[in-house]
Amino acid sequence: MVIAQSKRLRQKHSTGLNVVDPEVYDLINREHQRQEDKIELIASANFVSRAVLEATGSILTNKVAEGYPGRRYFSGCEYIDKLENLAIARAKELFGAAYANLEPYTGSQANHAVYLTVLKPGDRILGMDLSHGGHLSHGAKFNMTGKNYDCHFYQVDPDTERLNYDRILAQAKDVRPKLIIAGASAYPRTIDFQRFREIADEVGAYLLADVAHISGLIAAELHPNPINHAHFVTTSTQKTLRGPRSGMILLGEHSAPEFARKIDSAVFPGVQGAVHMHAIAAKAVMLKEAMSPSFATYQRQTLENTRVIAEDLVKKDFRLVSGGTDNHLILLDLSEKGITGKEAEELLASVGITVNKNMLPYDSQKPSVCGGIRIGTSAITTRGFTSEDMHCIADLIEKVLSGKPTAITLKTVQEEVSRLCRLHPHIDSIYGEGETN
Ligand SMILES: *Cc1c(COP(=O)(O)O)cnc(C)c1O
């Protein structure tokens, strides 16, 4: 290649996104503005710190590596080995684990690796019913798990809408699963992992604690830690833990000797290929942040904010599944309000409040419609929303969902949403230029 041509190609490679691809650049900017202007109440959403974002967007994305620190299939791994070891050490320290695997691309992949470790196709698993708060990767029929394994589901108690451990034990004795999964995407109450382990032991099953939603609370010691009870602990890292979109597997002292190597090979080469080193770096940063006192303060405020919204909504005559919440989310049953989850989601979106429709236990609506919505405060608490703001948000939700809101009401609510967002500017002030100190 002639020198001039090679220089041109390199120049092209160093041209900014706005010039190379204005369409993508524009869509990112619009999404940026959406994140700034809307009240984000999706329970699995959060805003990463600038440091986590920097690591995610770093040159580590260029590094190819397969395998584990000290046992790679490619060379040039001297720095990324240190990085992955650092992340592993932090994860073990934060969660009191004897083993940590930081390579799973997502929480779902982490679960698949656990299944590959202990299950054969056709084996029985017992997880939480999707419409009662469980997750797709726990055996849903349109998920890989539902196709590969014989999946059975426990539900919440029809009276209390909480887990009824005696009923789960009875069902486990009946089903005789090889693996029991404890963990949920839409369960507002504390989970008793010790009790789950007793059930698993009684029927000779392994126990997987999937703490995708509550790992941030666990890190801050605001929810019991399953590490010394469950054989396997998996989590997403982008939810309450406030890290990159990724996953993690942890083992306690009691199970690491038997399963550490097996989990390693289930993740790679079992269900994944090369490591996402930029995500590993971002997880290392996330873990460092999660060890700080300010992270515990943040999680306590999240719980407080959720409690305030929950109590206000109950006072305003909304029905909450299980009557309230112990964690970062609530489930609102809208069946008595004459509005479906889908309609509520759309109405709230029209005024700048982002939630998701959600199935309720024993829901009479279809999954595409849903009888309720799920509301979480992790993201807005990161933004700095206070308990005072929660009273405002509960008022806004009432205005939109109780009775038929007029166009004028919707307009006022929208203005109030904008006011609250301006009160707590986030995206620009956290990620904007000139803020690095
Ligand atoms: C979110 C979630 C997961 C994993 O989701 P990913 O999007 O794959 O990270 C797994 N289990 C539960 C209970 C979840 O809520």
Whether residue 247 has its Cβ less than 6 Å from ligand 1 = yes
Closest-CA residue, ligand 1 atom 15, reads 185
Q: Give Cα 295 distance to the centre of its chain.
A: 16
Q: Is 373:356 a contact under the CB 8 Å cutoff?
A: yes
> How high is the mean pLDDT in each 10-residue block of the chain (437 residues)?
80 90 97 96 97 97 97 95 98 98 98 98 97 94 94 98 98 98 98 98 98 98 98 98 98 98 98 97 98 98 98 97 98 95 98 98 95 98 97 98 93 98 85 57
The reported pLDDT for the residue numbered 435 is: 47
Pocket probe for ligand 1: among 102, 105, 108, the residue whose CB has the most ligand atoms within 8 Å is 108
Q: Is 241 helix (H, G, I), strand (E, B) or coil?
A: coil
Which helix (H) or strand (E) element contains residue 423?
A: helix 407-423
Whether residue 252 has its Cβ less than 6 Å from ligand 1 = no
Write the burial class of residue 122 (CB in 10 Å: 0-12 exposed, 13-18 middle, 19+ buried): exposed
CA of 145 from ligand 1 middle (Å) equals 14
Closest-CA residue, ligand 1 atom 5, reads 107
The reported pLDDT for the residue numbered 430 is: 80
Tokens of 61: 């994305």
The reported pLDDT for the residue numbered 4 is: 83
Length of the chain: 437
The reported pLDDT for the residue numbered 433 is: 61
Pocket probe for ligand 1: among 137, 215, 239, 283, the residue whose CB has the most ligand atoms within 8 Å is 137
The reported pLDDT for the residue numbered 437 is: 44
CA of 188 from ligand 1 middle (Å) equals 16
- Judged by phi (left if over 0) then psi (alpha if -120 to 50, else beta), residue 179 lies in beta
CA of 108 from ligand 1 middle (Å) equals 6
Whether residue 144 has its Cβ less than 6 Å from ligand 1 = no
User: Taking the CB of residue 321, how many other CB atoms lie within 10 A of it?
Assistant: 25
The reported pLDDT for the residue numbered 5 is: 84
